[in-house]
Structure 1
Amino acid sequence: MSEPDHDSATTTALLLAVGVVAVSFSAPIAATTAAPALAVAFWRNALAVAVVVPWTLVRRRAELVRLLRHEHRVLAVAVLSGLALALHFGLWVPSLRMTSVTASTALVATTPLWTLLADRLTGRRPSRGVVLGALLAFAGVVVITGVDADASSRALLGDALALGGGAAAAGYTLLGSSVRRTTSTATYTSVAYTVCALVLLPVTLIARQPLSGYSTRTWVELVVLMLSAQLLGHSILNRTLRTAGATTVALAILLETPGAALLAWAFWHQPPPLATLPGAALVLLGLALVVRARTSQRRVQAALEVGNVTDA
C-alpha cells in the first residue's frame, strides 16, 4: 500500500479499472450472503482493519504516529471520513436487501450529484452542462424509484436508503481527497476503516443482528467481499484520489452500476429488472455529463490562472 507520490496517467487508469471491477463485487455479495446486512457492513471493514493496520504499523509507523500525535486537523478529517463511510455502508448495504441490485447501485452512484450540491452550497455556480447532467440523472432516479414503487413500499424505502448512501459516499470521497493530499493510502485507510468498524459495531449490536454463528460459506463470502470490494476496491480508489482527484474517481465509480448488474446476473443468476435499465442508463449518462462539465470548467479556470500569471 506504499505508493510513490505521483503515478503516471496509465498507472492511474489501470488502478481505477481494477478498483471499479473490485467494488462491483460488493453489491451482489452483500445482497446474497446469509449474514445480516449491518453485520456484512461491519465485517467487511473489521476484517480489512485486521489487514491494513498491521501493514501500516510495519510500513508507515512513523507517519501514523505523526498523524495521531501532531496532525490533529488531518486526523479529524480522516475520522470524519470514517464516520461518513460508516453511514454509507449502514444505509446502502441494508438497501440491497430491499430493492434490486441494479436500482441500489445506480442510486448509490449518485455521489457526483451530491458533490455538486456541496459545491453549490459553498458558492460555486454550476455550468449548463452540469445542470443538464443533474436533470438527466434526476430523471433516471425518478424512473428507477417509480419502478420499485410499483413493486412495494419496501423497495421504495430501499431506494431512499441507497440515495442516502450515495450522499454519505460523497462526503467520504471529498474528505478522503483532502486527507490524501498529505497522507498515504495505508495510513488514511487505517484510520477511516477503523472508525467505520467501531461505529458499525454498536449499531449492529443495537439492531440485534448476530455477528457470528455463520456457515463456512458465509464466512468465505465475507472474506472475499473484504479482499475484493474493500482492499482492492476502496483502498485502490483511495490511492487514486491523490493523482486522479475526487471528480475522476467519482466518474469511474459510476461503472460499478453495470458491473454489479452483470456480476449478479453471471454468478448469482439475478437478471436486473428490465424496467430499471432505462433509469440506470439515464443516471449514468447524467452523472457522466456532470463530471465532464466540472472537469472542463476546472481546465478553463486553470488556463485562466496560467494566463494571469503570464500577464503579470
Structure 2
Amino acid sequence: MNYLLAALGVIGVSASGPIMAATAAPALAIAFWRNSLGAVIMGVPAGIRQRTRFRQLGTAEYQWSAIAAVALALHFACFISALKLTSVAAATALVCLQAAWIAFYQLFGGIRPARAVLGGLGMALAGVLVISGFDLTVSPEAILGDGLAVAGGALAAFYTMAGGQARRTMSTGVYTTLCYGACALLLAVMCAALGQPLTGFDGKAWLGILAVTLVAQIMGHSIFNHLLATISPLVVSMIILLEIPGAAVLAAVFLGEKLPGGTYVGLGLILVGLAVVVLRQGRSGVKAPHPPQ
C-alpha cells in the first residue's frame, strides 16, 4: 500500500509544474488561489478536531509560521513565474535544489557538511550551469526563468527550515492552516500592489487552479506527510526526487515540451547530486526536506 501511495504522491508533485505552466492566469493569482483553497481544505478538519489547540498557540509558533508563510509566498511567486519563462523540466529541477540550499545554510550555521555532500553540491551546481548554458541559446527569458527557479529553491529551503521549527509543537493541520492562510493574504497584497487580477479567468484557468490545488498541494504533499509516519524521512526524500524526471516526462507528453539534448545531462547531474546530498544528510541525522511545489 505504501508503494502505491508513494507512486501517487510522485505523480501529484510532478504534475505541479506542468499544470501551472498550462494555466492561463497570472503567477501570483495561481499561487493565491492554491494557498487559499489549501488553507480551507486543511483548515476545516483541523478546526473541528483541534479547535482548542488554535487558542493555545504561543508567540514563537505564530512567528515561525509567519516566517514560513513569507518564504512560501515568495517561493511561489518565483517558481510559478519561472514556469512561464523557462521549460517545466528546468524550472522543476532548479527549484528542487532546496536540499542543496539547506546544506549551504547549515554551513553558515556552523554545521560542516561531509565531503560527499560537498561533492553532491558540486555535481548539482554543474547541472545548473549545463542547463543555464543551453537555455542561454534559447532566449534571455529562459535564463531569467532559470534564475527565478534557483531563487525559488532557496526560498523553499528557508520555508522548510522555518516550518521545521514551527512543526516541533504544531500538528500538520494546524501549521498548514496558519501557513497557507497567511501566505494567501501576502499573495493577495502582492497581487493588489502589482495590479494582477484574482478573478476574471476562463473556465480552463479555474480548472487548472483547482487541479494544482487538489493534485499537488493536497494529494501530493498530504501523501508524503502521511508516509513520514510509516517510512523513514530519508526514503521519502529520495522518492520525492523522482519529481525531477516525472515533471520532465509529464511536460513532454502533455505540453509537447522539447528540450536540447544537453539539458537532460544537466537534469541528470542535479538528480544524482541531490541524491548524494539527501543520502549523506540522512546518515548524519539531518531530516531531509520535501518540496512545497
What TM-score does the superposition give when structure 1 sets the normalisation length?
0.85
Q: 1:310 aligns to what?
A: none
Q: 1:137 aligns to what?
A: 124
Q: Secondary structure at the match of 1:97?
A: helix
Mapped partners of 2:17, 2:165: distance in 1: 27
- Tell me which moved more, 169-178 or 224-233: 169-178
Name the amino acid aligned to 2:84: R
Q: How many positions carry a matched residue from both structures?
A: 286
Using the aligned pairs only, state the percent identity. Answer: 42
Q: Is the 8 A contact 1:139 1:279 kept in 2?
A: yes
Determine which of 203, 210, 218 is the counterpart of 2:197.
210
Q: Is the 8 A contact 2:32 2:188 kept in 1?
A: yes
Q: 1:44 aligns to what?
A: 34
Mapped partners of 2:265, 2:164: distance in 1: 32
Deviations 1:129-165 (CA, angstroms, capped at 9, x unpaired): 1011011000000001111112121111110100000
Q: Is the 8 A contact 1:261 1:272 kept in 2?
A: no
Determine which of 249, 262, 269 is the counterpart of 1:262.
249
State which structure, 1 or 2, has the greater radius of gyration over its C-alpha atoms.
Answer: 1
In the TM superposition, what is the alpha-carbon distance from 1:246 to its structure 2 partner? Answer: 6.7
Mapped partners of 2:156, 2:166: distance in 1: 15
Say if 2:73 is the partner of 1:86: yes
In the TM superposition, what is the alpha-carbon distance from 1:176 to its structure 2 partner? Answer: 1.9
In the TM superposition, what is the alpha-carbon distance from 1:76 to its structure 2 partner? Answer: 1.4
Determine which of 33, 48, 53 is the counterpart of 1:63.
53
Mapped partners of 1:272, 1:212: distance in 2: 33
Q: Quickly say closer, same or farther: Cα 1:150–1:269, change in 2 above 3 A.
A: closer
Q: Quickly say closer, same or farther: Cα 1:46–1:81, change in 2 above 3 A.
A: same
Q: Is the 8 A contact 2:127 2:266 kept in 1?
A: yes
Q: What is the alpha-carbon root mean square deviation over aligned residues?
A: 2.1
Say if 2:109 is the partner of 1:122: yes
Q: Is the 8 A contact 2:87 2:257 kept in 1?
A: no
Q: Quickly say closer, same or farther: Cα 1:249–1:111, change in 2 above 3 A.
A: farther
Name the amino acid aligned to 1:80: I
Mapped partners of 1:245, 1:72: distance in 2: 31
Deviations 1:82-112 (CA, angstroms, capped at 9, x unpaired): 1111111011100001101111001001011
Determine which of 188, 206, 210 is the counterpart of 2:175.
188
Mapped partners of 1:76, 1:267: distance in 2: 41
In the TM superposition, what is the alpha-carbon distance from 1:80 to its structure 2 partner? Answer: 1.2
Q: Secondary structure at the match of 2:137?
A: helix
Q: Secondary structure at the match of 1:131?
A: helix
Q: Quickly say closer, same or farther: Cα 1:189–1:235, change in 2 above 3 A.
A: farther
Q: Secondary structure at the match of 2:147?
A: helix
Q: Is the 8 A contact 1:180 1:241 kept in 2?
A: no
Structure 1 unpaired stretches of 5+: 1-9, 300-312
Q: Is the 8 A contact 1:42 1:200 kept in 2?
A: yes
In the TM superposition, what is the alpha-carbon distance from 1:26 to its structure 2 partner? Answer: 0.9
Mapped partners of 1:81, 1:121: distance in 2: 19
Mapped partners of 1:31, 1:111: distance in 2: 20
In the TM superposition, what is the alpha-carbon distance from 1:77 to its structure 2 partner? Answer: 1.0
Q: Is the 8 A contact 1:185 1:235 kept in 2?
A: no
Structure 2 unpaired stretches of 5+: 287-293
Q: 1:280 aligns to what?
A: 267
Q: Is the 8 A contact 1:147 1:276 kept in 2?
A: yes
In the TM superposition, what is the alpha-carbon distance from 1:252 to its structure 2 partner? Answer: 3.6
Say if 2:243 is the partner of 1:271: no
